[in-house]
Amino acid sequence: MTTIEVTDVVKRFESFEALKGVSVTLAEKRIGVVGSNGSGKSTFARLLNGLVLPTRGSVVVDGLDTAKAGKAIRRRVGFVFQNPDNQIVFPVVEEDVAFGLKGLKLPRDERESLVDTVLSRYGLEHLRQQPAHTLSGGQKQLLAIAGALITNPACVVFDEPTTLLDLRNARMIARTIREMEQTVIVVTHDLALLNEFDRVLVFDEGRILVDDAPSAALARYVERMQ
């Protein structure tokens, strides 16, 4: 189980302060993050794997500081973006899934076996030689998840994974997230997705407003939004 310690984090983008002294320790298996647009939740998500570094404070993942061991942390904490089109970087499905393995210098057989396993897990094996741009939205999001999981991260952060999907594909991705054995941290506006989660953080104006079990946290969030 991954432990992420966020200590007194402030994040400024020029004059805009996106996070204002956030401190929290994340050790549960399923953690949801909600909040209105501009509340700082996406910046918070990007802090967790070192894509964004704190202006002040620290983020420590399993003892590794994101400011000092960014690459090791990115192998430990995978990230799935809202728009899979921006995450898929190779033109063909199987090539894109294999992208994360490039730095590991694995033998070709082992690399192919890993690609087979992950494509099969997400039902993409029949699309392995398909150009990525011809996939449906749901298939692209599955491919993005497969690409993030190929290096076997201990934790995966999802930034609004169902926002661009239709209902059927959103449900399919939600089911996929629920079935994952990794620690998952999901930033979302889809409150139903978080029902069976262990913990939900509600962000508001760069601070954690509520940190509670899903039912209580989401009730407070809905109340706040009215």
Partner 1 sequence: MSPTPSSESHAPARTRPGRSPLHRMPAGIKLLVLAAAGTGLAFTTSLWVLGGALALTGAGYAIARQPVRRLFGVIRPMIWLLVPIFLVQGFMESWILAVAIVTRIITLVALAQLVTLTTPSDTMIAVITRALTPFRVFGVHPGKVALAISLALRFLPVIGGLAQEVRDAQRARGLGHNPLALALPLLIRTLRMAGDVTDAIEARSGGDDDEDAAPARTPVPVTPRAGSAAASSPAPAPRSS
Q: Which residues bind partner 1 (CB under 8 A)?
A: 2, 46, 49, 51, 62, 64, 69-72, 74-76, 78-79, 81, 83, 85-92, 95-96, 98-104, 106, 113-114, 116-118, 120-121, 123, 125, 127, 129-136, 138-139, 147-154, 168-169, 172, 180-182
Q: How many residues does the chain have?
A: 226
Task: Please identify, using beta-carbon distances, which residue of 122 and 205 lies nearer to partner 1.
Answer: 122
63: helix, strand or coil: coil
In whole angstroms, the minimum distance from the beta carbon of 204 to partner 1 comes to: 24
8 A C-beta contact, residue 90 and residue 84? no
Task: Please identify, using beta-carbon distances, which residue of 10 and 92 lies nearer to partner 1.
Answer: 92
Q: What ranges make up the beta strands (E) of the chain?
A: 4-13, 16-26, 30-35, 56-61, 64-65, 77-80, 155-159, 183-187, 199-204, 207-212
In whole angstroms, the minimum distance from the beta carbon of 221 to partner 1 comes to: 27
**Could you give the CA distance from residue 183 to residue 191 in angstroms, rounded to a whole number?**
19
10: helix, strand or coil: strand
**Could you give the CA distance from residue 141 to residue 158 in angstroms, rounded to a whole number?**
11
Phi and psi at residue 147, to the nearest 5°: -65, -35
In whole angstroms, the minimum distance from the beta carbon of 25 to partner 1 comes to: 17
In whole angstroms, the minimum distance from the beta carbon of 198 to partner 1 comes to: 17
Task: Please identify, using beta-carbon distances, which residue of 20 and 126 lies nearer to partner 1.
Answer: 126
Task: Please identify, using beta-carbon distances, which residue of 21 and 90 lies nearer to partner 1.
Answer: 90
**Could you give the CA distance from residue 161 to residue 30 in angstroms, rounded to a whole number?**
15
**Could you give the CA distance from residue 143 to residue 97 in angstroms, rounded to a whole number?**
7
Task: Please identify, using beta-carbon distances, which residue of 103 and 195 lies nearer to partner 1.
Answer: 103
In whole angstroms, the minimum distance from the beta carbon of 47 to partner 1 comes to: 12
Count the alpha carbons within 13 Å of 54 in the hemisphere toward its beta carbon: 23
Task: Please identify, using beta-carbon distances, which residue of 143 and 201 lies nearer to partner 1.
Answer: 143
